[in-house]
């Protein structure tokens, strides 16, 4: 995907520093300088992380975002939107804890359902990372 994104940017005559694409492991610190990113886009990824992975990723996102930067998380259309200042998040969230048979089902995991967390927990992770809201 990074190769394709770079190729598409080149076709549109968009080059660094206007745009850059980084391939990174979401379980490791991001190889990006703090306060250097205007926008982070993620499509159907965060739900695949365990709870601690979600927490660590949000902290890393906060670290690399410039003040007033934006992160957009999108994990399918069954979502609840939450607006936090200049940052907009969209994610699958659960109204209540999911039963083990769903959380441990491979099809539910791949479909981004098994990783859904309760709204209050999701908000707490965002706020704990420094992504405070109104």
Q: What is the pTM of this model?
A: 0.71
DSSP codes joined into one string, 89-126: EEE-EESSPPPHHHHT-HHHHHTT-TT-EEHHHHHHHH
Domain chopping of the chain, boundaries = 2-128
Q: What is the pLDDT of residues 36-62, one digit of tens each?
A: 998 888 777 787 888 899 899 999 999
Give me the CATH code for the 2-128 domain, please: 3.40.50.150
pLDDT-based confidence at 17, cuts 50/70/90? confident
């Amino acid at each position: 995907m990074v190769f394709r994104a770079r190729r598409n940017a080149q076709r549109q005559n968009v080059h660094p520093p206007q745009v850059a694409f980084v391939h990174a492991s979401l379980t490791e610190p991001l190889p990006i300088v703090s306060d250097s990113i205007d926008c982070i886009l993620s499509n159907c990824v965060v739900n695949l992380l365990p709870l601690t992975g979600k927490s660590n990723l949000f902290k890393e996102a906060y670290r690399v975002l410039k003040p007033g930067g934006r992160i957009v998380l999108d994990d399918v259309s069954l979502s609840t939107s939450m607006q936090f200042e200049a940052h907009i998040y969209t994610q699958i969230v659960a109204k209540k804890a999911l039963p083990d048979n769903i959380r441990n089902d491979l099809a539910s995991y791949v479909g981004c359902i098994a990783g859904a967390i309760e709204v209050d927990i999701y908000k707490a992770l965002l706020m704990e990372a420094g992504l405070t809201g109104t």
